[in-house]
Structure 1
Amino acid sequence: MHGLPGRGRRLAEQAARLDVAYVEAPLLGTKEPAVAGTLNVLTASPRQEVREEVRPVLEAVGTRTVWLDEAGQPSSLKLAYNAWVLATVEGIAESLTLADALGVDPHLVIDGSGLNSPYVQSKGPKMLDDDLDTPSFPLEAAAKDAGLITDTARAAGLHLGIAEVVRESLRRAADDGLGRADVAATYRMSRQAAS
């Protein structure tokens, strides 16, 4: 029982001993979906009857609730999602930097390509416009999450190569003073390395 998933299981066990309902419900999304009440909610509770009781609260903050079977699973799923998000941000940054360094318009990387996902469309233009100082997801929070991802993976006997590289990249960016910028500010680090 390591990391966030282990904490969720321990809290569920303690709640059961105290005969208290426990709901684990980490949220997926950044500042904009939080303000709009359109987050994704990853949820589990050992007590099935609790689902209906908490449904109005979950619907107030999110548009999608994913119910999982056991405590610890919502936090595990959030770590998996965040691993993808952080790898994607780093990939966008490096792809844009490479295109620019090779004399190709970096807008072509994100405009109309097979990489056209909502997340790419959200972060790519911000990188190209250097609109990174008002964070949706602060880089320092992303660096913390990268540490949780890699630490939890290691505790499970895994070595996630990309996640390890992303963790180091985010740590360097935070150490370089970008911690309060958006996670997409990792692009600035890629561009500095290309100079």
Structure 2
Amino acid sequence: MLDPYVLVGTPPISRYLSPVKRGSSIGAMEKIPKPVSVLGLGRMGSALAGALLGAGHEVTVWNRSPGKAAALAGRGAKVAGSVAEVTGLVLTCLSTYDDQQEVLDRISPGTVLVNLTSGTPEQARTAAKWAASRDIAYVDGVIMAVPQGIGGPSANILYGGAEAVLAEVRPVLESLGAVTYLGEDVGLPALYDLALLGIMWSTMSGYLHALALVGTEGVTAERFTPLALGWLDAVKSFLPPMGEETATGAYETEVSALDINAAGLALLVEASRAQGISTAVPRPIRELFDRAVAQGHGAHGISSVFEVIKQS
């Protein structure tokens, strides 16, 4: 069985998905300029095309609004008059899967399609089935970076699909960022994407709630944020053992029991209400903790809330 944390052409990487850095000798492949097309020139699509041009590739671009291609054309990109003109390796970065499907219906058979449009696992799998019916090789990917980071050392793109296909196009994809291969299942990148974004959104929402709470007493973000960053460093150290506990179901703890944390959450909700701010962020978390306590996990660690989250 293919290890889910394998980069194409390289040994397994760590279970924390630390990708092999671009330029590393591990699994290195000669980077020869190749023709590639980019469909969709929003901020991210334009960044992708720009990075490919910067790496010396022959880039063709297409967008519904041709005016968005002007800057890239000035850098040497060829502007396609229609989607039917693109062949070979095609990258799509459109707003939705509906937009993408409308565009892809005009792509020629024999194309290698790397989809970088955000969606759900099921949407990716449906797109892959459609591609197979049209003799189009399909790889799904998700971009774990902002447009400004594309082509730089911090950009990481997660891919799923046939290993042989990804190996073929990897020299081009490495121009965009680190290549992290999750396996043959084209639905996995979207699943990872949404899971990781969930962590980001939850963390940011918690931070904004904290700013609102301390702000009721005149504490500024400038004063509070250094403490928040230090606290996040401490919190992230709990993630690996929590992950192991969810895998084994061994939730016993000598650190901090769930019922104590549930009581703390009740205080947070109460204080938020008393200070005149919304309880929309902590209240659902309190409800999860209370449900887990009611189901017998009060003496267990916080990771036992996982059992409640799994319930529909």
- What TM-score comes out, normalization by structure 2 length? 0.33
Aligned residues: CA RMSD: 2.7
Q: Separation in 2 of the partners of 1:66 and 1:109? A: 38
Say which of 187, 207, 223 aligns to 1:92. Answer: 207
Measure how far apart 1:86 and its partner are. 1.4
Query: What per-residue deviation string (whole Å, max 9, x for no partner) do you get for residues 154-175 of structure 1?
Result: xxxxxxx96xx8xxxxxxxxxx
**2:46 paired residue number:** none
Q: Separation in 2 of the partners of 1:35 and 1:51? A: 18
Say which of 42, 45, 53 aligns to 2:158. Answer: 42
**1:24 paired residue number:** 140
Say which of 71, 76, 85 aligns to 2:191. Answer: 76
Q: Percent same amino acid among aligned pairs? A: 28
Q: Separation in 2 of the partners of 1:108 and 1:115? A: 16
**1:9 paired residue number:** 125
The one-letter amino acid paired with 1:53 is E
Is contact 2:182–2:188 with CA below 8 Å preserved after alignment? no
**2:168 paired residue number:** 53
1:49 match: secondary structure:
helix
Measure how far apart 1:66 and its partner are. 3.6
The one-letter amino acid paired with 2:158 is L
Runs of 4+ in 1 over 3 A off after TM superposition: 35-38, 103-109
**1:114 paired residue number:** 231
The one-letter amino acid paired with 2:165 is V
Query: What per-residue deviation string (whole Å, max 9, x for no partner) do you get for residues 15-38 of structure 1?
Result: 223332100012111132126364
- Greater helix share, 1 or 2? 1
From the superposition, tell whether residues 26 and 12 of structure 1 become closer, same or farther in structure 2 (CA, over 3 Å).
Answer: same
Is contact 1:40–1:66 with CA below 8 Å preserved after alignment? no
Measure how far apart 1:65 and its partner are. 2.0
Measure how far apart 1:41 and its partner are. 0.8
Q: Separation in 2 of the partners of 1:38 and 1:58? A: 14
Larger Rg: 2
Q: How does 1:155-194 map to 2 (within 5 A)?
A: none
Measure how far apart 1:70 and its partner are. 0.3
From the superposition, tell whether residues 42 and 35 of structure 1 become closer, same or farther in structure 2 (CA, over 3 Å).
Answer: closer
5+ residue gaps, structure 1: 118-160, 166-195
Is contact 1:44–1:70 with CA below 8 Å preserved after alignment? yes
Is contact 1:41–1:62 with CA below 8 Å preserved after alignment? yes
- Greater strand share, 1 or 2? 2
Q: Separation in 2 of the partners of 1:106 and 1:26? A: 32
- What TM-score comes out, normalization by structure 1 length? 0.51
Is contact 2:151–2:177 with CA below 8 Å preserved after alignment? no
From the superposition, tell whether residues 107 and 115 of structure 1 become closer, same or farther in structure 2 (CA, over 3 Å).
Answer: farther
Q: Separation in 2 of the partners of 1:74 and 1:82? A: 12
5+ residue gaps, structure 2: 1-118, 235-279, 285-312
1:19 match: secondary structure:
coil
